[in-house]
Structure 1
C-alpha cells in the first residue's frame, strides 16, 4: 500500500478541498477561521486522510479467509506422492525433512483448527423439553474446569426448594451472566433435585464430567449488581476455616490485619464479597460484614471485659441452613446465615486528653474495617512521622537518631512548659515557657495534642507547633504518649504512625543489658532497667497494640537500634515518595 506522505495541492483529498473552498467563502471570522483554514491546508492532515481512505478501501475490496481448511490432510497426500518417487534429489530430501518436523506439523494443525473455527468449547445439545410447562425455565450449561463455579446453593426455608444462594463476583457463574441469586434449581445434568438437600446436589456436581447443565426457574429479581469501588483496610485477622457460621467455608476469603480488601458487594447484611487488593484471582470471597464483626467484638468484650487477645467471639445463630458451593467440597454441617441482632456501636466520648489512661474511652473503639484510598505524594504534602510505643522501648532514641541523619529535613516541635526558665535555657529553643494559667486555658480549648504534669509543672505539645513544621516543608518527627494518637490522627495532619515494638522478653533483657541501657522510668538517677520494668515494657506494648493497633501504618521491632533505624529511614522515604493507603476521608 503506497501513500504519498508529502501531497501537493493537486493531490489533496477532494472532500478536504471542497471544505477549504467553502471556508474561503465565509466572511473573516477571526482566529478560529484562520486556524481551521491552516489546518485544512496542512500536508500532515492530507497524508493522514489518504492513509485512512486506503485502509477503508482495502477493507471493502479484500476478503481475508483461509485458502484451505485441511492443510494437514494435504500434507499426508504429499507424503503418499513422495513414496512413489524412485530417485530423490536434494530438494526432495529437504522438503520431506521439513514436512516431518513436529513444529511444522503443529503449525499446520493449528492452521486447520483456526480455519475450521475449532477452538470453541464443545457443548452438547440442549435437551428438548419433554413436556409443556407453564413455568418459565432456562437451561444453562457451563464447562467444568479446575475453577470453582462461583455460586452457592441452599434450601429455601419457606418452600423447601433448592435455590441459588449467592453468585460470587468474578466467578464462572457470574461471568456467564446467566445464573442469579434466587433462581430455583430444578435439574442438574438431567437429574431432578426435588426432595434433595444441597449436599445431595453437590454430590451430583462433583461426579459430573465435561459440562454441567442446570435447569433453572428465573427469580426475575434484579440482575447481577455492579461491583463497588470501596477499598478497606482490615483491622483484624480472619480465617474462614475457623468460623463455624460462615455460609460456606470454601467460599471464604482469609486475610490478615493490615490487608487492603476490595469490597465488591455489600448486598448481604452479614456477609460481604471481597478480593484482596492486587490479587490476580478475580473471583471474590466471603468475609464478615462490618455489622457482623462489630457484633462479635461487642459480644466478646461483654463476655470477657479483660480480654486483650483480639480473638472474635460469635453471636448465637437464630436459624440454620446449609449453603454449598458447587465444584468444591463443602461441610454438610449446617451453618448459620442469620445472627442475633447485636447492640449498636456506642458513640465515642469527647474528652480532653490527659496523661491518666482511660480504658473506657479506648474500649469503645471497635476496629473492624477502615475505608481507605491512595494518597499520592505531591509538592507541599508533608506527612509527620509519629513514633509510638511503650515507655522504655526506645522510640525517643530512634527519634533523635532519625533527626540526626538530616537535621534540616527532620525536625521535632519545641514543647511547652509552665515551669520557670533556667538560666542556661533559651525560650523558643529548649522550651516554650508560658504561664500555668495560659497553658491551662489552651489545654481546655483543645490546642494541645498531649500534655501532662510532672512535679507540679505542666508540659505539652501543641497542634500548631506540628503544623508550623509541616507548613515549612520539613518532616515533623514526634514520639508522643500513645493516647495522643486520638488527636493526631486527623485529615488535617495525616500522620504516618509507626509502632515501635519490643523483641521477645528474653531478647529485650539481653539486648538492653549488652548495650548498658539506662532506665527511662527513673529520671532522678542513671541505672539499668529492673526485671519489673522489662515486664512493664512488654505489658504496655501489648496493651497499646490491642487498643490502638488499628491506627498503625507500620511496625518496627526495636531489637537492634541500627537495624531499627534503617527500617525507619526506609519508612520515612516511602512516606514522601510513594502512594500509600490512608483513611478515605483524608483524600476527599
Structure 2
C-alpha cells in the first residue's frame, strides 16, 4: 500500500509521500509499533499543515514584501465598539463581541500590530552620516508647492510659511525654522525640521533679513517654493501625540494679542474635545478639534500659559477693585500644584462646610480650569453611572429627580439621605431621611462614611457612600441631587458620575412658567407663597455662579423653562449615559 499526504490546498506533498514510502521499505525498523507511530504522525493533518506553511514561507523571494492590510486597527476597533454599544442591550451576541473587543490582551495585540505596520519602532536608529569635507557645510534643497497655508506679518515673532514657522535666532541673527505645523506642507514633506537654518528662498539670499522680509518673498512667489537649508545639529522627531483634552474656556485666536500668528490659531469653545498633536512648545500647543478631518493643526495656548493668563486677570480685577475683599483668589496667586505651607489662604482640597448659606466660594475660585485630559468611557452592561443633578435652589432639580425615579422605580433609585434635624409631621423615617443624632453623624463623617455632607441652618445632611454603592451594585441607576459644592467629592473614578446642570431660562420666562404652574417658593420653609422677583433674580445669579465655578465638571445641561420638555431631555441624557461611549477624565478609564 502506498501512503500519500494531502497538502492543505489539496495538492500532494511529494516530500512526505516519499518519506512514508521509504519507511515502508526500511529494514531497520523491526518493531511494527514504531513504524505505525511514524506513519500516523506523518499522515496527520497537523504536521502536513505545518510543512505546507514552511514551504510557502521558504518560497518567498527576497523581492517580495509582506504588507499589512491596514495600520490603524485600534481605530477600527474603536469604531466597531461605538457601533456595538447601542446594541448591547438588545443582542447577546453583540454584548459578547463588545466585551471581547475590550479585552486588554486583544487590544495590546492590535497596538503591537499597528506599531509594526506604522514602523513605529523604538529605539530609533541614528541616520547614516554623510561624509563631507570638514570645511564644507552640508546643504539641503527642498521644494514645496505653495498652498493656502497661513502667512503672517510681524517683527521677530514666528511666521507660518507653508506649514512651518521661522524666527530670528537671538544669538546668531540667522533665520531658522522654529516650528513645524503638524499636517502642513512642510510636515508632509518630511524634509524640513525644527532648527534648520534658512539660507535662500527662491534663490534669494536671506542673510541679514528679518522674518517679515522672508514673508514678502514668499507672498510674491508663485507655484513652487525652493528652500536652501543648513540641517540642524539635532534633528527632532515630531511624533504626533494621542492626547485628547476637554477645553474649559473659550478661545478666539483673532483676539489674542500674544499668539505668534493669528491665522495659524485654532479657535474653540468650552466643552470642545481637542486632539493635542504636539506639546513641544512650552507656551503654544498644536491641536485639532476631535472629529474634524482638517490636515493642518492649529496653535492654542498651553496649560501653563493659560493658567498664567487667568492668574493675571484675577490680579487685574483685584487692582481694579472687582474682587471682593478677603477673597483667597486675589491673595493666593500661585498656580495649582504648587502648595505653599506658609500661605494661609491655601487649604485642604475638601471643604468641610458645603451648604453654608453664605455660599463662600473663595476656595473654589482658586481652581484654575484650563484643560482636562479625557478618553472614551464605554458603558458596561448592568453597571450604570450615577446621574447627578445640580442647580440653583428652586430651579427644580429635585422635581426632575422625583419624576425620573417615578418613571421606572425598579431602574432609577435615589439613596435616602441622613440628617440630624428633627422629623417633621408627615415624614416617615427611612423614606424622606434617615434621622440620626448629631454625635453619631459626626462620628461617621470622621470615619469617611459619607461621600458628600454639609451643614444647613445648624443641621447636618449627607449621603453615605455605601447607599450609592448598593444601588449601583444592584444594577440600578443611582440618581442624586446634591448641593453643587459636593461635586468636588462626588466626581471620582470610583463613582464616574454623569453630571447635569439644571439651569433657569431668562427672567421673563422663568417668572411666567413658575407663576403659571403656581410654583411654591423654596426659600420659605412654610412653602405657602410663590416666588418673588428678587428670588427669581437670585436663582439666575446663583446659576451663573455655579456655571462659572463648576460648569466645567458637567457633562451636559438642561434649561428648565418648560418642566415637561426638561424632563424629556433628562430621560434622553439618562439613556445616553447608559448606552453611548462618552468622554470622561482619562483616570476613569485607565
TM-score band w.r.t. shorter chain: 0.7 to 0.9
Q: Separation in 2 of the partners of 1:574 and 1:516? A: 32
1:344 counterpart = 2:344: no
1:174–1:224: 8 Å Cα contact kept in structure 2? no
State the match for 1:200 in structure 2.
213
Work out which of the residue numbers 225, 250, 255 in structure 2 matches 1:212. 225
3-state SS of 1:382 partner: coil
Measured after TM superposition, the shift of residue 193 of structure 1 is 1.2
User: Higher Cα Rg: structure 1 or 2?
Assistant: 1
Q: Separation in 2 of the partners of 1:34 and 1:564? A: 73
Q: Separation in 1 of the partners of 2:479 and 2:198? A: 62
Work out which of the residue numbers 41, 45, 62 in structure 2 matches 1:38. 45
Using the size of structure 1 for normalisation, the TM-score is 0.73
State the match for 1:252 in structure 2.
265
* Post-superposition CA distance 1:435-490 (Å, at most 9, x none): 22101222234433333445654332222221221111110111111101011001
Q: Separation in 1 of the partners of 2:472 and 2:261? A: 49
Using the size of structure 2 for normalisation, the TM-score is 0.73
Mapping of 1:501-512 within 5 angstroms?
A: 501-512=503-514
3-state SS of 2:229 partner: strand
1:162 counterpart = 2:164: no
Q: Separation in 1 of the partners of 2:293 and 2:9? A: 55
* Post-superposition CA distance 1:392-448 (Å, at most 9, x none): 111111111111221111111101122345685443333212222101222234433
State the match for 1:134 in structure 2.
136
State the match for 1:326 in structure 2.
none
Work out which of the residue numbers 373, 376, 379 in structure 2 matches 1:374. 376
Which sections of structure 1, spanning at least 5 residues, go unmatched? 1-5, 61-131, 309-341
Describe the shift of the 1:503–1:136 C-alpha distance in structure 2 as closer, same or farther (beyond 3 A): same
Mapping of 1:96-495 within 5 angstroms?
A: 134-147=136-149, 149-305=162-318, 343-345=334-336, 346-347=338-339, 349-350=347-348, 351-356=351-356, 357-421=359-423, 425-453=427-455, 456-495=458-497
Describe the shift of the 1:16–1:196 C-alpha distance in structure 2 as closer, same or farther (beyond 3 A): farther
3-state SS of 1:152 partner: strand
Q: Separation in 1 of the partners of 2:209 and 2:365? A: 47
Q: Separation in 2 of the partners of 1:9 and 1:153? A: 61
Describe the shift of the 1:349–1:472 C-alpha distance in structure 2 as closer, same or farther (beyond 3 A): farther
3-state SS of 2:275 partner: strand
Q: Separation in 2 of the partners of 1:497 and 1:168? A: 36
Aligned pairs, number: 472
3-state SS of 2:486 partner: helix
State the match for 1:84 in structure 2.
none
Measured after TM superposition, the shift of residue 40 of structure 1 is 4.4
Mapping of 1:519-538 within 5 angstroms?
A: 519-538=521-540
State the match for 1:97 in structure 2.
none
Q: Separation in 2 of the partners of 1:447 and 1:536? A: 33
Pairwise CA RMSD of aligned residues? 3.4
Q: Separation in 2 of the partners of 1:539 and 1:253? A: 32
Q: Separation in 1 of the partners of 2:522 and 2:22? A: 88
3-state SS of 1:428 partner: coil
Measured after TM superposition, the shift of residue 513 of structure 1 is 1.9
